[in-house]
Structure formats: structure tokens, C-alpha cells
Amino acid sequence: MPRKARIDTCLCVFARRQAPGALHHVIVRGTERGKIFRSDYDRRNFLNRLGKLIPETQTDCFAWALIPNHVHLLFLS
């Protein structure tokens, strides 16, 4: 049985706690579970942009998984 789409408003309302050295599992999803990657070009473009952003934010990315309709990222703050 498929899960119903939901919106977690609490993630946007509260400030995130600063926790140096903490692992953060980040999920990015397409709208209504739609595809966010339609080609290898899209995936390469995402990874190139992520690769530029990581040094700017002084964050370490330990793992990622690019699925056509979502992304999993594991960051160390």
C-alpha cells in the first residue's frame, strides 16, 4: 500500500541546532514523487554543483545516492 504524501511543516519552523561533528541524513524529493533526474547530464550537473557547495560550507559529504525521484545525502557538520 503506497504511503500518502505529507508535508512536515515543523522542519521549516524551528531553527536547527548547531551540532559540530554530527551526521545529517538529508533527503531531497521531487514534487509528488516526480523525477528530479531525467538523464545522466542531470545527475552530473547535480554532483558538480554539490561538489562546489561542499567546500564553501565547510561540510563533509560521506555518501550520496541519486535515485530518479529523490536523493539521499550523508553530511558531517
* Of 14, 11, 21, residue with least CA distance to 75: 21
pLDDT of amino acid 75: 93
CA–CA dist 15, 30 (Å, integer): 24
Strand order in the sheet with 23-29: 23-29, 70-76, 60-67
Tell me which DSSP letter residue 3 carries. Answer: P
Q: What is the CATH number of domain 19-76?
A: 3.30.70.1290
Type of residue at 44: R
pLDDT band with cut points at 50, 70 and 90 for residue 8: low
Please give the helix or strand (H or E) that residue 45 lies within, else none.
helix 40-57
Q: Domain map of the chain by residue range?
A: 19-76
> Rounded to two decimals, what is the model's pTM?
0.72
The pLDDT of residue 4 is above 90: no
Type of residue at 20: P
Q: What does the pLDDT look like over 11-67, one tens digit per residue?
A: 555 566 777 888 999 999 999 989 999 999 999 999 999 999 999 988 899 999 999
pLDDT of amino acid 15: 63
